[in-house]
Amino acid sequence: MRESEAFIRSLPLKRRFHDRNERRRYEIALVTAAKLIDDPTTLKNGSEYMERHMSTDPAQARYYALWTDLISRDPKEIVRELLADTDRGALLRETSPVFYVLAGAEREQALARARAERQEPASSSP
């Protein structure tokens, strides 16, 4: 088991979803979260995305400030907040910069989990 999988499984993960879109965002966030832990250099991708696409957009000023603070923290802290079953966690998932572009198979697996009727999220492994 990878370090990321063990850490993510230790967290109190979200179990109930309002709709399939929320479930899909969460499944994709699980894959991204694992990548942040396994390869912390993906934080650089997020920072670069924020600078290019968020920093000069007045409509994203609040989210840019939120993520600027968060992205400077330890990857496990970021993951803990990103996956939290809270209003803040939902906001982070909705406004997340692009840290990592999922490969086709990873994306399909995440979307298949989102389509499943289960209440519990699957493991973060691709």
pLDDT tens digits for 78-105? Answer: 999 999 999 999 999 999 999 988 888 9
Within-domain flag for 78 = yes
Closest CA relative to residue 100, chosen from 25, 43, 27, 23: 43
Within-domain flag for 41 = yes
pLDDT of residue 117: 56
Within-domain flag for 87 = yes
* pLDDT band, very low/low/confident/very high, at 118 (cuts 50, 70, 90): low
Q: Which two tokens stand for residue 35?
A: 């990548």
Within-domain flag for 120 = no
Cβ neighbours of 5 (radius 10 Å):
16
Average pLDDT over residues 43-67: 96
**Angstrom distance (rounded) from CA 45 to CA 33:** 14
Its domain, for residue 31, covers 3-10+17-115
Within-domain flag for 26 = yes
Closest CA relative to residue 68, chosen from 87, 84, 38, 92: 92
The number of distinct structural domains making up the chain is 1
Within-domain flag for 95 = yes
Within-domain flag for 66 = yes
Within-domain flag for 124 = no
